[in-house]
Chains A and B, each alone.
Chain A
């Protein structure tokens, strides 16, 4: 049995029983990357991985001892290139570790020096906006792996990593997890420190785990969660032991199924598969009822104003001065040299989607438009948040599909930004409301494409997510299936 095909908890048991060495795990990962990554392209800058040899030293201790973990290219890892898959950050080697990286190292995990592929600056739902080209879905190489954490989801699905870390601003962990048949968790905003996460939208971004099963997800959450004084938006609440929430029992749990999420335009197979999953949960004792989240249809326009406005501000720092790409102007008569440098650097360094979003955000904040767009969006955000608060007065969690369709073909939506944005319709509201949400595999279409089930809960109630997700998983075998193409 190849070690890379196991879960973290299975590997740790073998390490504790001294059946295997951590070198053995790393070797099997390296072998798998060599074997499949030229087709899947989950990793970027693959030549960097020879650095793995520096881990062959003494005792590794901690709850994740010896577990190799791959990291999305927007999370700072000291000394290892972190470029957000953008030309404008080429060559950037962070001088510090993100807090989550520091915590993982302290827990004994081995941070892989090669980063996973993503849409540039997390702008996207398919990983096609990466300056390195798209990641291919391991279940069908002609399809997208989802985005923006496509690389992280794909490498876990195809055993090129044991666990991975992604980020989620509008669904970027959950949607690719759904498309690739793995588990992806978006924690409550403020649960996990954002220090060291290169910011896209500061009021929406979170870091979270992508794993092969729910237990691994809980284990990683135990390590990365917690208050951080370096992140002024992190919340000072104790971190429970999430593995204790892995209970195979949902009797009496009240689950709301929002009618606005089962609409025309959603794939019929996805509808059928998700309805089956809900039936199973009912059979296991859950009480499932239809609910309403009346402002759902406004979530996408609200998101695309707020997220792009925040992005336009966060990306102002990429100007060629301190790091990354710089393009100087020559012989300009009219403007001072530095303004031209900013304009040329940003014009050439950013990809198309990045420019589109920055311009949209700048527009929404500009004098004369601010009230009609940005301020209005912030108010509608309050209404969306209130929709969830109303539902959670009576219900323990909310169940929905993760995406309206399974993975689409590479190139299918790239020329239609609006169509691309609509693929986030089920995931976006959780970011606007700040609530936690998890995607677990719940079946396959007749083309053998994975379908994800999303569970949402109240702020800081990740334990509810783990309990429901674990129960569902333990009563099905979707998580044991692997792509056969490679």
Chain B
């Protein structure tokens, strides 16, 4: 199947990645090749197959609803590119 330039633009937008025009060109070509290779999965008979999203037979792993130690706020903010008191500072979110 082909991947059009528009599809790549659409996917890049979903992934919130800005691609330079040359990158867009190169990656489009490579994605087409990779997806053509991946298309060989169409050969497989999956008619009576359950999907495996998790390899081990464990589910509903919960913990006690008890509060315990968590990271101090100061530690959490230490790596922040921009902070103000107890907040991460970001550019405007709402237009």
Q: Is B51's CB under 8 angstroms from A382's CB?
A: yes
On chain A, the residues within 8 Å of B54 by CB distance are: 203, 233
Interface bits A381-397 vs B (CB < 8 Å: 1, else 0): 11101000000000000
On chain A, the residues within 8 Å of B42 by CB distance are: 376
A82 to chain B, nearest CB (A): 10
Interface bits B63-78 vs A (CB < 8 Å: 1, else 0): 1000000010001101
| Alpha-carbon distance A323/B34, docked complex (angstroms) | 32
| Alpha-carbon distance A414/B93, docked complex (angstroms) | 38
Q: Is B15's CB under 8 angstroms from A320's CB?
A: no
| Alpha-carbon distance A187/B31, docked complex (angstroms) | 32
A380 lies within 8 A of chain B by Cβ: yes
Given the interface contacts A232-B61, A377-B41, does A355 sit within 8 Å of B23 by beta carbon? yes
B10 to chain A, nearest CB (A): 8
On chain A, the residues within 8 Å of B90 by CB distance are: 321, 337-338, 341
Q: Is B44's CB under 8 angstroms from A373's CB?
A: no
B85 lies within 8 A of chain A by Cβ: no
Q: Is A359's CB under 8 angstroms from B51's CB?
A: no
| Alpha-carbon distance A324/B33, docked complex (angstroms) | 32
On chain B, the residues within 8 Å of A95 by CB distance are: 71, 75-76, 78-79
Q: For residue A373, which residue of chain B has the nearest CB?
A: B38
Q: For residue A381, which residue of chain B has the nearest CB?
A: B52
A143 lies within 8 A of chain B by Cβ: no
CB contact between A359 and one of B31, B37, B40, B95 (< 8 Å): that residue: B31
On chain A, the residues within 8 Å of B8 by CB distance are: 359
On chain B, the residues within 8 Å of A340 by CB distance are: 18, 91
Q: Is A346's CB under 8 angstroms from B30's CB?
A: no
| Alpha-carbon distance A324/B93, docked complex (angstroms) | 20
The DSSP consensus for interface residues of chain B is loop
A190 lies within 8 A of chain B by Cβ: yes
Q: Is A375's CB under 8 angstroms from B51's CB?
A: yes
Q: Is A382's CB under 8 angstroms from B50's CB?
A: yes
Given the interface contacts A301-B40, A338-B92, A355-B23, does A363 sit within 8 Å of B31 by beta carbon? yes
B55 to chain A, nearest CB (A): 4
A370 to chain B, nearest CB (A): 12
Q: Is A346's CB under 8 angstroms from B16's CB?
A: yes
CB contact between A337 and one of B10, B52, B91 (< 8 Å): that residue: B91
On chain A, the residues within 8 Å of B37 by CB distance are: 300-301, 418
Query: How many chain-A residues does the 8 Å CB contact rule pick out?
Result: 71
Query: How many chain-B residues does the 8 Å CB contact rule pick out?
Result: 54
A360-378 CB contacts (< 8 Å) to partner B: 360, 362-363, 366, 373, 375-378
Q: Is A358's CB under 8 angstroms from B15's CB?
A: yes
Q: Is B17's CB under 8 angstroms from A347's CB?
A: yes
A290 lies within 8 A of chain B by Cβ: no
Q: Is B33's CB under 8 angstroms from A418's CB?
A: yes
Q: For residue B76, which residue of chain A has the nearest CB?
A: A95
Q: Is B49's CB under 8 angstroms from A382's CB?
A: yes
CB contact between A358 and one of B17, B30, B80, B94 (< 8 Å): that residue: B17
Q: Is B40's CB under 8 angstroms from A322's CB?
A: no
| Alpha-carbon distance A301/B81, docked complex (angstroms) | 38
| Alpha-carbon distance A433/B54, docked complex (angstroms) | 10
A107 lies within 8 A of chain B by Cβ: no
Q: Is A323's CB under 8 angstroms from B80's CB?
A: yes
Q: Is A233's CB under 8 angstroms from B18's CB?
A: no
A467 lies within 8 A of chain B by Cβ: no
26 A-B residue pairs with Cβ-Cβ distance under 8 Å, sorted by A, are A93-B78, A95-B71, A232-B61, A298-B41, A301-B39, A305-B41, A321-B81, A323-B80, A329-B91, A340-B18, A343-B17, A346-B17, A347-B18, A347-B20, A355-B23, A359-B11, A360-B34, A362-B14, A363-B35, A366-B14, A375-B51, A376-B46, A379-B46, A379-B52, A382-B49, A417-B30
List 15 extra interface pairs beyond A96-B71, A355-B23, A382-B50, CB under 8 A. Answer: A297-B40, A298-B44, A305-B41, A312-B15, A322-B76, A336-B95, A337-B93, A344-B18, A358-B17, A359-B11, A360-B34, A378-B53, A380-B41, A383-B49, A434-B55
Q: Which residues of B contact A (CB under 8 A)?
A: 3, 7-8, 10-12, 14-20, 23, 27, 30-31, 33-35, 37-42, 44, 46, 49-56, 58, 61, 63, 71, 75-76, 78-82, 88, 90-95
| Top-6 shortest CB links A-B | A337-B91, A378-B51, A347-B18, A434-B55, A323-B79, A95-B75
